[in-house]
Amino acid sequence: MDEKKQLERITVNPKFFGGKPIIRGRRLAVEHVLSMLAAGDTPETLLKGYDWLEPEDIQACLWYAHHIVGHERTHQSVTVVDEKGHTVEIRPVGLTPLPELEGSVPKNWKDGNYAQ
């Protein structure tokens, strides 16, 4: 099955999970499948746990994630101090600052320059 056909398995229904992408209109979010895979579950484990799930559904989730990552930056921002002592936030466009990163300085930042 080609990529485009697999991606047709990913649907959005505002009635389920606040409009998050789901698999074939079922109550299983793409996000949930990806988090299970990231946690170490195998595709076989997912297929056993959801009797209606097909291998192509899992592949569709991976293609979906590939497209999202290809179009959005996923790096977090960092706050650094420049050579004059000014605080400078380095953040990719479109990201909201995270409170746990405020005031942090990269370990390799020294005297206003990145240490090599």
pTM score, whole prediction:
0.60
Ramachandran bin of 47, using left for φ above 0, alpha for ψ from -120 to 50, beta for the remaining angles? alpha
Distance, CA of 16 to CA of 11 (rounded, Å)? 10
**Comparing C-alpha atoms, which of 77, 112, 82, 116 is closest to residue 98?**
77
Give per-residue pLDDT as tens, 42-72.
999 999 999 999 999 999 999 999 888 776 5
Which ranges in the chain are annotated with CATH 1.10.10.10?
Answer: 3-71
> What's the distance, CA 14 to chain centroid?
20
pLDDT the model gives residue 98:
43
The CATH classification of domain 3-71, taken from the options 3.40.190.10, 1.10.10.10, 1.20.120.400, 3.30.379.10 = 1.10.10.10
Percent of the chain having pLDDT more than 90? 40
User: 3-state class of 61 per DSSP?
Assistant: helix
Query: Are the CB atoms for 109 and 83 separated by under 8 Å?
Result: no
Report which of 84, 79, 64 is spatially closest to residue 8, judged by C-alpha positions. Answer: 64
